[in-house]
Amino acid sequence: MEQINEKNFNFYNRIGLDTFQALAKDGGFSTFVDLEIAYRYIQPTENIAEIGAGYGRCIDFLLAKKHQGKIIAVEQSPKLCEHLRAVYSSTIKIVEGDIYKVSFDHQIDAALWMWSGMIDFSVEEQAAVIKHIHELLTQKGKLFIDIPRIGIKTIADHIDQQRIKLTTDFGEIECYIPLSSEVKEYADAAGFTRVDEINYETATDKKRTMYILMK
Ligand SMILES: C[S@@+](CC[C@H](N)C(=O)[O-])C[C@H]1O[C@@H](n2cnc3c(N)ncnc32)[C@H](O)[C@@H]1O
């Protein structure tokens, strides 16, 4: 299996909160446009897990919505977890670890894999993580995946339409943007029965696609 997620670990562990938040602003994510779309499909009492919580952007959104269900934030970077625990651990559950290996006491209703989190994984890793998340979800559970629109230039270097690399002074990140057909194949192999696809633009006009995988 091609492994890129492990190679990308240092990028997020070294990024620094200010830089991470500045990237969210440049990408047009700090207005939560992506989350407003996803939240239309989520009931206020549903239990949600976020995959790769970063600096807490999705948690901020859910707390601002006064979300009543449980919120579990999974994050593998120890540095980011230190921050998440300091800011949020009185209100939500922070799980430090790799999404591949994480399990919860109870199944969850919705999993959020936002702001390109999925593309930090190789094609084989993406398929494996989607299978694992399927098992973590309740019978009517949903998985939300937000990625750059295929064929659109991002801030990174494009090796081809699907493989991109971002080089910064704190590290490098390699990404794989799946085609719509690949997302549907992953979903099918994992046992999801329906995939909705929503194209949208962020506050800074970045073209994105959100997939909603339903059991
Ligand atoms: C692009 S950021 C998205 C942050 C956040 N979800 C948001 O929308 O603002 C991806 C996050 O996933 C985390 N991550 C990457 N691989 C992971 C893994 N295998 N398990 C858990 N978290 C992971 C990274 O450390 C990073 O914080």
Each of the 215 residues of the chain gets a pLDDT tens digit; together they read 788 999 999 999 999 999 999 999 999 999 999 999 999 999 999 999 999 999 999 999 999 999 999 999 999 999 999 999 999 988 899 999 999 999 999 999 999 999 999 999 999 999 999 999 999 999 999 999 999 999 888 889 999 999 999 999 999 999 999 999 999 999 999 999 999 999 999 999 999 999 999 99
Give the whole-angstrom CA distance, residue 72 versus residue 27: 25
Q: Which of 58, 120, 202 to mutate to test the pocket of ligand 1 (most atoms within 8 A of CB)?
A: 120
Measured CA distances, 158 to 38, 124, 167, 168 (Å): 28, 20, 11, 15
Ligand 1 centroid from CA 116, angstroms = 8
Q: How far is the CA of 50 from the centre of ligand 1 (A)?
A: 9
Residue nearest to atom 18 of ligand 1 (CA): 98
Give nearest CA residue, ligand 1 atom 10: 117
Taking CA atoms, 57 is separated from 72, 185, 210, in Å, by 13, 29, 17
CA of 40 to the centre of ligand 1 (A): 22
β-bridge pairing 207-214 and 194-201? antiparallel
Give the max Cα distance, the chain.
44
User: Domain 9-106+125-202 class?
Assistant: alpha beta
CA of 162 to the centre of ligand 1 (A): 19
- The predicted-structure confidence for 72-95, as pLDDT tens digits, reads as follows 999 999 999 999 999 998 889 999
Q: Using alpha carbons, select from 147, 139, 146, 150 the residue that is nearest to residue 192.
A: 139
- Report CA Rg, the chain: 16
